[in-house]
Structure 1
Amino acid sequence: MRDIGIGLIGSGYIGKTHAIAYAAHNAVFGGPARPVCRALAEIDQQKADQEATSLGFKRGTGNWRDLLDADDIDVIAIATPNALHKEMAIAAIQAGKHVYIEKPLALDATEAEAIINAYEAQTTNTNPLVHMLGYNYLCNPMISVAKTMIDSGELGEIVHFRGRHNEDYMASPDVPFSWRCSRTAAGTGALGDMGSHIIGMAMHLAGPASSLSGDTTTVIQRRKDHTGTMRTVENDDQAQALVRFESGAMGILETSRIALGKKQGLAFEIVGTKGSIEFDQERMNELRLYEANAPIGRAGFKTLLVDSSCPDFGAFCPAPGHGLGYNDLKIIEVNRLMKAIVAGAPVPVDLYQARDIERIIDTWITSAEQRTWLNLD
């Protein structure tokens, strides 16, 4: 078994999901590659040592650049605020490391392009660098089932995609101003944070988009920061768009961080000429299917439960209906990273697909500002 050394930057919520996935991967999937938690970088040495011990890394460092020259590290995993992604990703690529970056790729498409330029200047046929983004909802076994249904023609021609990713973690005006409210640190608000997930899902299932008409708004315009100072929120609380896909299908996308009652509100409906499907991440082990050829009086949606026929589920459990959880999706994602490194397998979202998501976000914002439909280049 080949050890793949991991250097993780950031130990917050997302960093912890990484640590859980690295630790669990071998027990769940085994295979020819094993992620090994070698080093964790944080804002200072004290925090790095503390979090390295807590999350199972062999050492900590207060300087993330220490990971670049470490011979025992193969992958740089970036789990930091968005504004840091560009510098860290480019440095990791130039150091010859594989990169695993939490979404979104960057603040905008221009930064995404700079990362790709660095990758293309560094990688070679004899030393290909793997690049993967952390769009872990795409790794849900039920999403794989939905993709198979679409690609096989089981649903017929896809004519409509309605998708949303709504949550309420900033619905209260008492939630303090954080880096997520800063255009400099985060870029967009709900649109980059959660909208990027539903955009990625739409691209994965319905294909490339050709044009859109977008809208955005900031509902809670001022929040107190950690010092009690009132600050202006610089990015969007919610956004919506009408979309046309290259296939001709129509679509509606929406996202919100102030949607009261929605906790993990990533959901979609896909309408085809032979059938329709519905999915909700809050019920992530189910897919609802409507088939047009049902007998008269028997038409209606039926619920499909995850089972061992669904990709990746059998590695966790042989029994149908015994559902997976959020962190399990990260374990599946890490397994796809391992397969990409040792066997050249495709990843769910690479740098180029992530750049396309950033282009859609940029166009969405411009469309909202200009109040018009815009084509996607």
Structure 2
Amino acid sequence: MVQARPLGVALIGTGFMGKCHAMAWRNVATVFGGAHPRLQVLCDTPDRAAAMAEQFGFQRGTDDWQQAVSDPAVDVVSITTPNGLHRPMAEAALRAGKHVWLEKPMALTLDDARAMADLAARHPGQVTLLGYNYLRSPAFQAARNLIADGAIGRLLAFRGVYDEDYSADPLLPWSWRMTHGEGGLGALGDLGCHLVSLMVALMGPVDQVTAMTQIAVPQRPSPNGPRMVENDDSALALIRFANGAQGSFATSRVARGRKCRLQWEVHGSDGTLVFDQENMNELWVHRTGDAGFMRHLSGPDQPDFAAFCPGAGHNFGFNEQKVIECRDLLRAIDGEKPATPDFAAGLEIERIIHAMAASDGRPVMMKEDHHEDA
């Protein structure tokens, strides 16, 4: 059972991830037990707030996010807004005494992320959690357990790719996502940060990165004429981990035909693990002595799967990952287990992707505290 006392929830934003958060809040007690959260207030634009509050099951809607985060009936704030609003909203929620569940990326700049982590450290009684939902996949958790148990031996290498094609069409209109001032980093901030979260969870801290970024479509059409694209469409990196292992990393938002190609593999001295998010219920495992790879299909023997379904092979989904993430947030608020990644861990992810953005083909040592922002 989780959460003996029902928490009051404010949700800011009702897009893709806002709906995902709303479903998680509505389903977490059904799946894992405990008190159902009180869905107090939903915040969005004036033309959406009331209607979406009714659809999502919140008691009321508002277009004033500052009112939402300061509401005395609210204990925890879910923030699913555009990237440029993450810092002011998260900081306001922390100062108002709330717990914070914030979607990735953490912030626009490394300085912003550092300031947010510093503020969270000054509020130790308040939980912060970043929305890296792929960490909650039962297949991923099984892979982490295999590594921790020494099943594939000493870690030698990581290879990871996260490609999508949502910006592949050169006629796609310019948007805020393509600016530093509102979007921050491009493919690195939208996609690459997910891959970094998985990479670090599997391999441990990063010592060095050497990277290149590319703007594949320099201009985009807009109602006022062509607008310049400021942030990366794709990035490639070589990595050295603190444990001596090496890694390769690639991400793109212009990879035609790729929808959610989040693929990674870990090479060990005694075996290899392979995963592909487009087949998220499969983990492929090779160990010394095997003729090839064995397919391990997600089922109730893997972490958290059984809470949703008792039958193997019935498949786990994207939104279920968010329900687990919500459960982990509630456990952290109850003091059962620390939330991860919190803002401190999120700062390390931001340091890595901003180092990649700043590298320009030169090695960047992660042991140094870099203050330049890409």
Taking the TM superposition and a 5 Å limit, the aligned residue runs for 1:67-146 are: 67-123=68-124, 128-146=125-143
The 5 A counterparts of 1:8-87 are 8-31=11-34, 33-44=35-46, 46-87=47-88
For residues 237-276 of structure 1, the C-alpha deviation after alignment (integer angstroms, 9 at most, x for no partner) is 0001000000000000110001111111111011001110
Distance 2:322 2:224 in 1: 36
CA distance in structure 1 between the partners assigned to 2:45 and 2:56 by the alignment: 16
CA distance in 1, matches of 2:339, 2:36: 17
What does residue 251 of structure 1 align with? 247
- Per the TM alignment, residue 331 of structure 1 is displaced from its structure 2 partner at its CA by 0.8
Runs of 4+ in 1 over 3 A off after TM superposition: none
Aligned pair 1:176/2:173, yes or no? yes
Query: In structure 2, how many angstroms separate the alpha carbons of the residues matched to 1:347 and 1:164?
Result: 26
SS across alignment from 2:37:
strand
- The 10-residue stretch of structure 1 (248-257 or 107-116) with the greater mean CA deviation from structure 2: 107-116
The answer to whether the 8 Å contact 1:25/1:34 transfers is yes
Whether the aligned pair in 1 keeps the contact of 2:156 and 2:269 (CA below 8 Å) is yes
**Deviates most, 54-63 or 234-243:** 54-63
Task: State the TM-score, normalizing by the size of structure 2.
Answer: 0.95
For residues 266-305 of structure 1, what are the alpha-carbon distances to aligned partners after superposition, in whole Å with 9 as ceiling and x for unaligned? 11011001110100000001100011123xxxx1011000
- Hey, what's the Cα distance between the residues in 2 that align with 1:347 and 1:264? 26
Cα displacement (A) at 1:69: 2.4
Matches of 1:94 and 1:178, distance apart in 2: 31
Deviation readout 1:151-170 (Å, 9 max, x if unpaired): 11111001000011110111
Deviations 1:203-259 (A, max 9, x none): 00011110010000000111123x262111111100010000000000001100011
Give runs of aligned pairs for residues 317-332 of structure 1, distance below 5 A.
317-332=309-324
Question: Where do residues 100-249 of structure 1 align in structure 2 (5 Å cutoff)?
Answer: 100-123=101-124, 128-225=125-222, 227=223, 229-249=225-245
Q: What does residue 300 of structure 1 align with?
A: 292
| SS in structure 2 at match of 1:335 | helix
What is the rounded CA distance, in whole Å, between the counterparts of 1:348 and 1:119 in structure 2?
13
Unaligned runs of 5+ in 1: none
Write the letter of the residue equivalent to 1:287: L
Offset, 1:329: 0.7
CA contact (8 A) 1:274 1:293 kept: no
Aligned AA (1:5): G
Residue type matched to 2:184 in 1? G
Q: Which runs of 5+ in 2 are unaligned?
A: 368-374
- The answer to whether the 8 A contact 1:138-1:348 is kept is no
Question: In structure 1, how many angstroms separate the alpha carbons of the residues matched to 2:306 and 2:338?
Answer: 20
Aligned-residue offset at 1:355: 0.2
What residue in structure 1 maps to residue 326 of structure 2?
Answer: 334
Given residue 367 of structure 1, which amino acid in structure 2 is its aligned partner? S
2:372 matched residue in structure 1: none
Distance in 2 between residues matched to 1:349 and 1:94, nearest whole Å: 20
Shift of 1:43: 2.7
Quote the Cα distance in structure 1 between the aligned partners of 2:101 and 2:245: 32
Quote the Cα distance in structure 1 between the aligned partners of 2:345 and 2:276: 23
Counterpart residue number, 1:373: 363
In structure 2, give the amino acid aligned to 1:224: P
1:319-343 Cα distance to aligned partner (Å, 9 max, x none): 1111011111111111111111113
CA deviations on 1:58-81 (whole Å, 9 max, x unpaired) are 101110011232121111111011
Greater CA drift, 66-75 or 93-102:
66-75
* 1:356 equivalent in structure 2: 348
* Alignment-derived partner of residue 288 in structure 1: 284
Alignment match, 2:9 = 6
Deviation at 1:101, TM superposition (A): 0.4
Give the whole-Å Cα distance in 2 for the aligned partners of 1:110 and 1:121. Answer: 17
CA contact (8 A) 2:70 2:93 kept: no
State the 1:55 CA deviation.
1.6
The structural deviation recorded for 1:120 is 2.5
Q: Does 2:253 match 1:261? A: no
Measured after TM superposition, the shift of residue 183 of structure 1 is 1.1
Output the CA distance in 2 between the equivalents of 1:102 and 1:109. 16
**Cα distance in 1, alignment partners of residues 123 and 138 from structure 2:** 34
CA contact (8 A) 2:262 2:277 kept: yes
Q: Is the 8 A contact 2:26 2:36 kept in 1?
A: no
Task: Report how far residue 122 of structure 1 moved.
Answer: 3.2
* 1:4-61 Cα distance to aligned partner (Å, 9 max, x none): 1110111111101111111111211113x432221111133x3211211122211011
